[in-house]
Amino acid sequence: MPGRNPFAKDRAPKTPTPGDAQRPPMPKWAIWVIVSALVVALFASQFVSRPVGEKLSYTEFLAQVRDGKVVEITINNSTNTIEGTFRNGGKFITTGSASLSDADETLLKENQVDYDYVTPQPNWIASLVPILLPFLLIVGFFVWMQRRAMGQAGNIMSVGRSRAKPYQADKPSTTFADVAGYDGVKLEIKEVVDFLRMPERFREIGARVPKGILLVGPPGTGKTLFARAVAGEAGVGFLSVTGSDFMEMFVGVGASRVRDLFQQARKMGKAIIFVDEIDSIGRKRGAGLGGGHDEREQTLNQMLAEMDGFETSEGVVILAATNRPDILDPALLRPGRFDRQIVVPLPEYEERLAILKVHSRDKRMGPDVDLETMAKATPGMSGADLANLVNEAALFAVRRGSAVIERIDFENARDRVVMGARRESLVLTAEEKRATAYHEGGHAVLATVLPHSDPLHKVTILPRGMALGVTWTLPEERHTYSREYFEDVICKAMGGRAAEKVVYGHLNSGAANDLEQSTNIARRMVREWGMSDRIGPQAWNSQQQVFLGEDLMTSGREYSDSTAQLIDEEITRILTEQEARAIEVLTKHRKGLDLVAEALLEHETIDGPTVGRLVQQALDAPSHSEV
């Protein structure tokens, strides 16, 4: 017969019998009922046969016999218990010796008392316990060993199964209404949701839905929150998994879990697979120190084949999130796999305001809280940072003993998030406190008078985080920066060092972080942004990380030694010029620097308008004069 395996045995279909019908498994409580019944049967006879009646001493019993009040007695040979009946029908019980003496027997006969000796029969269940108990213990031990072995074998056999968590479409926990702002991101993701709900609408015109959508953005911008919102809005099967769930010590486990994941999705018909932190398995192949057969690369190969291989997965859309798209394999980002990349950036002012409203709607807010002002004062914060800000404000309100969250709580929370927690235990000497006041005063004065600097918000000499003092400016909403802006940033960072030179004539170690920040900006101005006239319009990115393996066998530098020397000279020139500029400006505004330092020593914390007023008072001129 064509297509028949000649080595296969013919098996006739088994005729089902009534005994083959599947019975429902016995519930666990039934086992306890059976055990309880056996225990009751074992001890019931002892409770049932327990003697009842008036308890008498043996002397009282003999006295009752002499008075002729006893009719009959029964003597238990096992327990020496004597049970009897009075002539009035009452019962009594007493305890005697193993056998009646001759005098007692004579007394019973003289008073016409019937007596009899009985030996109770033992419970047949109790007699079987010594025989059955060892046998039951041995059987139970072997059953326990068998179940333990089967459980271990089951764990080994299930190691290749996917660990994705399915979500029910009829019980959404998060929707797009819970995601504040990001209307453009919502629009692009809604296209996928609409295709899964109404595929005919797209097929009529010949449109093809993207198979994969990659959410790219800094940490805390809400990429995972968008995935949860898709799970609530899609109305189809949703499987959530992280990239690390595919990694195991066994070779081939990751690829097996990928196959099982897509099989689960295909069984749902229409489904969305969300892979969080996909960069853990999607890194560039052939770039690491290992060979081409390591577990991570095999997992990535299987995912590439499942997304757009020989067998396509219709109706299955993959949604992934990462904050490191530069290290992903190019094959993963090509059309047909992750067709679309959606950038989830840091929120703008309107989006920050909407996020603050979402996280504040279930909290008690005081009448003086202005979320619009707080949204303007938190540029650069992500959605997670804003959520943490609202929570910190609530904690500050609880510590104050307030029933509502007030503006002061938000101010304290913002200071804690941005500048760090205040170190109450750190006590500065008078000289250290004065040096810190002039150091921070130098930053504050330069932030006030430099034309391209960000507005000064607050300056304090209270130790916060790892710093002895903090000068805080509020960056304005901008997307491009000029060379003059970066020069003012470097000059402002040099303000603390310059103030120490102007006032004390020597330096200390307090400007280490300022120098690090200034050097990084100057290096990027020369190497990446083309802001050096001697270097010209050239750019070299930062050196790749070693774990990518791209620079392991190379020198890690794309320019000659002479160019490297020129780059170092330009970086040194920028830093030296801005330090000299900071010294010049602070020398010109020395009176204003002294006033700001004195105000810091007196109040410890002053705001930006106060600094501007002090500088203007010293010069009797507008605070933003030409420098």
pLDDT at 487 (0 to 100): 92
Q: DSSP secondary-structure letter at 548?
A: G
Whole-number Cα distances in Å, 440 to 449, 494, 575, 621: 15, 11, 19, 22
Mean of pLDDT values over 168-174: 56
Percentage of the chain lying above the pLDDT 70 cut:
77
Q: Which of the listed residues 328, 343, 358 is the one where a domain comes to its end?
A: 343
Q: How confident is the model at residue 521 (pLDDT cuts 50, 70, 90)?
A: very high
Looking at per-residue pLDDT, the higher value among 413 and 270 belongs to: 413
Residues 192 and 261 in one domain: yes
13 pLDDT exceeds 50? no
Looking at per-residue pLDDT, the higher value among 329 and 38 belongs to: 329
Q: How confident is the model at residue 9 (pLDDT cuts 50, 70, 90)?
A: very low
Residues 187 and 285 in one domain: yes
Lowest mean pLDDT among 40-44, 119-123, 445-449: 40-44
pLDDT at 252 (0 to 100): 62
pLDDT at 566 (0 to 100): 92
H-assigned helices in 25-73: 28-48, 58-66
120 pLDDT exceeds 90? no
CB neighbour list of residue 276: distance below 8 Å, 6 or more residues apart = 223, 224, 227, 240, 241, 242, 243, 320, 321
Q: How confident is the model at residue 551 (pLDDT cuts 50, 70, 90)?
A: very low
Residues 328 and 383 in one domain: no
Q: Can you tell me the distance from the alpha carbon of 174 to that of 390, in angstroms, rounded to the nearest whole number?
A: 20
pLDDT at 122 (0 to 100): 64
Residues 177 and 295 in one domain: yes
- Phi and psi at residue 592, to the nearest 5°: -65, -35
Cα dihedral: 492, 495, 498, 504 (round 10): 170
Residue 17 domain flag: no
Q: How confident is the model at residue 463 (pLDDT cuts 50, 70, 90)?
A: confident
519 pLDDT exceeds 90? yes
CATH for 369: 1.10.8.60
Lowest mean pLDDT among 143-152, 335-344, 419-428: 143-152
Tokens of 464: 């916060």
Q: What is the pLDDT of residues 332-355, one digit of tens each?
A: 888 878 888 888 888 888 888 888
Tokens of 546: 């070693």
What stretch of H or E contains 237? strand 237-242
pLDDT at 477 (0 to 100): 73
Q: How confident is the model at residue 62 (pLDDT cuts 50, 70, 90)?
A: confident
pLDDT at 323 (0 to 100): 84
Residue 82 domain flag: yes
Mean of pLDDT values over 281-299: 65
Selecting among 233, 440, 500, 570, the annotated active-site residue is 440
Mean of pLDDT values over 130-140: 76
Residues 511 and 603 in one domain: yes
CATH for 319: 3.40.50.300
297 pLDDT exceeds 90? no
Q: Which of the listed residues 419, 440, 465 is the one where a domain comes to its end?
A: 419
Residue 626 domain flag: no
Q: How confident is the model at residue 416 (pLDDT cuts 50, 70, 90)?
A: confident
Q: Concatenated DSSP letters for 361-428?
A: TTS-B-TT--HHHHHHT-TT--HHHHHHHHHHHHHHHHHHT-SSB-HHHHHHHHHHHHH--B-TT---
Mean of pLDDT values over 112-122: 76
Lowest mean pLDDT among 170-179, 238-247, 425-434: 170-179
Cα Rg of the chain (Å, integer) = 43
Domain of residue 266: give its range: 165-343
Highest-pLDDT range among 192-206, 426-440, 549-563: 426-440
Q: Can you tell me the distance from the alpha carbon of 411 to that of 517, in angstroms, rounded to the nearest whole number?
A: 26
Q: What is the pLDDT of residues 232-261, one digit of tens each?
A: 777 777 787 877 767 665 556 777 777 777
552 pLDDT exceeds 80? no
Mean of pLDDT values over 55-64: 82
483 pLDDT exceeds 70? yes
Q: Can you tell me the distance from the alpha carbon of 96 to that of 107, in angstroms, rounded to the nearest whole number?
A: 15
Lowest mean pLDDT among 37-41, 157-161, 266-270: 157-161
Q: Are 422 and 466 in contact (CB under 8 A)?
A: no
558 is annotated as an active-site residue: no
pLDDT at 248 (0 to 100): 61
pLDDT at 510 (0 to 100): 80
Q: Concatenated DSSP letters for 72-110?
A: EEEEETTT-EEEEEETTS-EEEEE--SS--HHHHHHHHH
Residues 333 and 435 in one domain: no
pLDDT at 123 (0 to 100): 62
Residue 251, classed as helix, strand or coil, is coil
Spatial strand order in the sheet of 605-607: 470-473, 456-460, 605-607
Residues 339 and 353 in one domain: no
544 pLDDT exceeds 50? no
2 pLDDT exceeds 70? no
Q: How confident is the model at residue 127 (pLDDT cuts 50, 70, 90)?
A: low
Q: How confident is the model at residue 554 (pLDDT cuts 50, 70, 90)?
A: very low
Q: What is the pLDDT of residues 602-616, one digit of tens each?
A: 888 888 889 988 988
Q: What is the pLDDT of residues 358-381, one digit of tens each?
A: 888 888 888 888 888 888 888 888
pLDDT at 336 (0 to 100): 78
pLDDT at 228 (0 to 100): 77
Mean of pLDDT values over 474-494: 87
Q: What is the pLDDT of residues 305-333, one digit of tens each?
A: 877 765 555 677 888 888 888 888 888 88
CB neighbour list of residue 37: distance below 8 Å, 6 or more residues apart = none
Q: DSSP secondary-structure letter at 14?
A: P
Q: How confident is the model at residue 547 (pLDDT cuts 50, 70, 90)?
A: very low
Q: Can you tell me the distance from the alpha carbon of 593 to that of 502, in angstroms, rounded to the nearest whole number?
A: 10
Q: Can you tell me the distance from the alpha carbon of 623 to that of 455, in angstroms, rounded to the nearest whole number?
A: 12
Residues 339 and 363 in one domain: no
Residue 467 domain flag: yes
Q: Concatenated DSSP letters for 554-623?
A: S-S-SS-HHHHHHHHHHHHHHHHHHHHHHHHHHHHTHHHHHHHHHHHHHHSEEEHHHHHHHHHHHHTS-S
Mean of pLDDT values over 98-102: 74
CB neighbour list of residue 284: distance below 8 Å, 6 or more residues apart = 327, 328, 329, 330, 548, 550
Per DSSP bridges, beta strands 316-322 and 165-167 are unpaired
Percentage of the chain lying above the pLDDT 90 cut:
12
Q: How confident is the model at residue 484 (pLDDT cuts 50, 70, 90)?
A: very high
Q: Concatenated DSSP letters for 313-379?
A: -TTEEEEEEES-GGGB-HHHHSTTTS-EEEE-----HHHHHHHHHHHHTTS-B-TT--HHHHHHT-T
63 pLDDT exceeds 60? yes
Residues 245 and 387 in one domain: no
Tokens of 397: 């309100």
Residue 195 domain flag: yes
Residue 146 domain flag: no
CB atoms within 10 A of CB 439: 27
Q: How confident is the model at residue 518 (pLDDT cuts 50, 70, 90)?
A: very high
Residues 106 and 217 in one domain: no
Residues 274 and 384 in one domain: no
CATH for 601: 1.20.58.760
Q: Which of the listed residues 62, 85, 118 is the one where a domain comes to its end?
A: 118
CB neighbour list of residue 423: distance below 8 Å, 6 or more residues apart = 463, 464, 465
Task: Indicate the average pLDDT of the chain.
Answer: 77
Residues 281 and 353 in one domain: no
265 pLDDT exceeds 60? yes
Mean of pLDDT values over 451-465: 85
Domain count, the chain: 4
CB neighbour list of residue 309: distance below 8 Å, 6 or more residues apart = none
Residue with tokens 């074998």: 153
Residue with tokens 């057969």: 293
Residue 73 domain flag: yes
CATH for 69: 3.30.720.210
Residue 323 domain flag: yes
